[in-house]
Structure 1
Amino acid sequence: MMARIIGGVATSHVPAIGAALDNGKADDPYWRPVFAGYEASKRWIAEQKPDVCIVVFNDHASAFSLELIPTFAIGCADTFEPADEGWGPRPVPSVSGHPELAWHLAEQLILDEFDMTIVNRMDVDHGLTVPLSLLFGQPSEWPCRVIPLAVNVVQYPPPTGRRCLNLGRAIRRAVEAFPEDLKVVVFGTGGMSHQLQGPRAGLINRDFDTAFLDRLVADPDGQAAVPHIDYVREAGSEGIELVMWLVMRGALDARVREAHRFYHVPASNTAVGHLVLENA
């Protein structure tokens, strides 16, 4: 008996998506196509009924700041509260952690030579809660336990794509060494192409995004070799968030089945991308 990873979800975590849900605008003409793209995924995850979701995301100066910048941080607490990002916390349930699995992951990953920062108190912002809302809707409580795994993609230098892919592979080894019968789904969040400031604000590159989706599915090692500067040049300053999707991909089989894909422009000033992957 062991824990096992049953699939992976990749999705953008646009804060305006959360605001649209929270303010009852999901059925507005502007937002309806965005949420329609997640209906198949909501059915998929309801059928799979994961016990735990490991959500790879980046903090947006809610839990961390320039005073403390961990490259990889894992939340080991019992509970994580929605962060106040300047306009009050999102009206979503508290996030229930899985301390036993989280501490096991921390131990195994550190012994596997990944320097994880262990976090025992952390508020979680839209980077984590928007993906949960997109997959689970608006329940009174989240239907599974969640382990937050924060990646620094805000302050240079972020980890390489190769490092992220290898972290995902190490996460899989660690999960499969946990002696409890758990179904685990790994989320990779952030992206796709977008830039929030400067002369290129509003940049969206459909060609880059589509090629990234194709290569993430079929050639993750090739995508992992893409340098940071290519993301910044082609996908905007915030496009570097896409390296977090490689953590999710590394946790899956070399060959995967693409259960669902969705791409939509725009949502706010961002390209929304989404994949559901199953082990082949």
Structure 2
Amino acid sequence: MASIVGGFVMPHEPGIFYMPRERWTEGQHRVMAAYGEIARRIGELEATAVVVVGADHYVLFGPGCLPSYLIGIGEVSGPYEKFAGIDQGEIPNHAPLAGHIARHGRDHGYDWAVAKVLRVDHSIGLPARVCALVNPSVRGVIPVYLASGVEPVISLRRAHQLGGALRAAVEAWDTDDRVVVIGSGGISHWVGMPQMGRVNEAFDHRVLDCVARGDSHGLLEMSDAEILEQGGNGAFEIRNFLCMMGALPGRTGRVLCYEHGEEWVTGLGFAEVLEPA
């Protein structure tokens, strides 16, 4: 059967990729090294498929359709934003596995919204381009969007449960696929609010510590009011982290990097979670 062999969390702050290399700060170099470390680890894990869990930023679906959770099962391309040195064309999808996840979910109480054609934004496109597709073992990237960026947001608990549904579907897939799950999101940031540019380092480390210890309860016990106060509306994206953690229940890991500074508007956290050998 297929298996989930590891998980990661990483930011998708577009400002990281707009900055030309000749203007990189020391923090920028550390951030790019962290992306490189995750790409290397995905290769070492011999991953054949990478599920990237991201957020809609009100640019893909618009007010006419706000799915709680969606999976791309067909053609994928992006990111639609232009970044220096980042391709915007086709992103190979592992369509057979993606379709299986959607069907398995429907059979077990998870009514996935599906997209047969999907042009992703930076929350999926950047992890796919920078960390997944640089590895020849990766046959495809499966995009998953949670309502974690635009209200009404999916509940923390449902996001975590959805990770469990991903795991169950993967383990019911009769192949030798090795799957990595990425939770893509910023930690503290106040999008479009007066506090924009502020970062709560203590909150960010609290979140990353929970990820590294495999402590999903520590995140699930937060209320949205607390998250908004301590981490801003952008911190609702920790739902993407919880989905990854639900796919690797109780697994521990390590923080790879944490940065914040004037270059960006969010705390940037990178962590790895491993399956036991």
Same fold, judged at TM 0.5 (above): yes
Alignment of 1:195 with 2:190, yes or no, is yes
* Aligned mate of 1:146, from 133, 136, 141: 141
- Mapped pair 1:235 → 2:231: yes
Q: Distance in 1 between matches of 2:191 and 2:183?
A: 21
CA deviation after TM superposition for structure 1 residue 197, in Å: 2.1
Kindly indicate whether residue 126 of structure 2 is the aligned counterpart of residue 97 of structure 1.
no
Q: Does 1:119 align with 2:115?
A: yes
2:31 match: secondary structure = helix
The structure-2 alpha-carbon separation of the partners of 1:36 and 1:84, relative to structure 1 and needing over 3 Å to count, comes to closer
**How far off its partner does 1:83 sit?**
4.1
The Cα of 1:150 is off from its aligned counterpart by 0.5
- Distance change in 2, residues 1:205/1:81 (3 Å): same
Tell me if structure 2 keeps the 8 A contact 1:8–1:187: yes
Matched residue, 2:43: 46
Relative to structure 1, the CA distance from residue 255 to residue 49 in structure 2 (aligned partners, 3 Å threshold; closer, same or farther) is closer
The answer to whether the 8 A contact 1:81-1:95 is kept is yes
Q: Which residue of 1 aligns with 2:172?
A: 177
- 1:54/1:28 Cα in 2 relative to 1: closer, same or farther (>3 Å)? same
TM-score (norm 1): 0.89
8 A Cα contact 2:5 2:179, kept in partner: yes
After TM superposition, the structure 1 = structure 2 runs for residues 2-151 of structure 1, keeping only pairs within 5 Å, are: 2-20=1-19, 23-25=20-22, 27=24, 29=26, 31-77=28-74, 79-85=75-81, 90-136=86-132, 139=134, 143-151=138-146
CA contact (8 A) 1:261 1:274 kept: yes
Alignment length (residue pairs): 274
| Counterpart residue identity of residue 33, structure 2 | A
Contact 2:60 2:120 in 1 (8 A): yes
Q: How does 1:239-250 map to 2 (within 5 A)?
A: 239-250=235-246
The Cα of 1:62 is off from its aligned counterpart by 3.5
Give the Cα–Cα distance (whole angstroms) in 1 for the partners of residues 7 and 135 of structure 2. 24
Superposition CA RMSD, Å: 2.4
Rounded to whole Å, the distance in 1 between the matches of 2:150 and 2:57 is: 11
Q: Is the 8 A contact 1:56 1:244 kept in 2?
A: yes
| Separation in 1, partners of 2:181, 2:47 | 10
Compare 40-49 and 182-191 and name the one that shifted more.
Answer: 40-49
Q: Distance in 1 between matches of 2:79 and 2:203?
A: 32
Q: Specify whether residues 35 and 26 from structure 1 end up closer, same or farther in structure 2 by C-alpha distance, changes over 3 A only.
A: farther
Give the secondary structure class of the aligned counterpart of 2:188. coil
C-alpha distance in structure 2 between counterparts of 1:255 and 1:217, whole Å: 8
Distance 2:249 2:31 in 1: 29
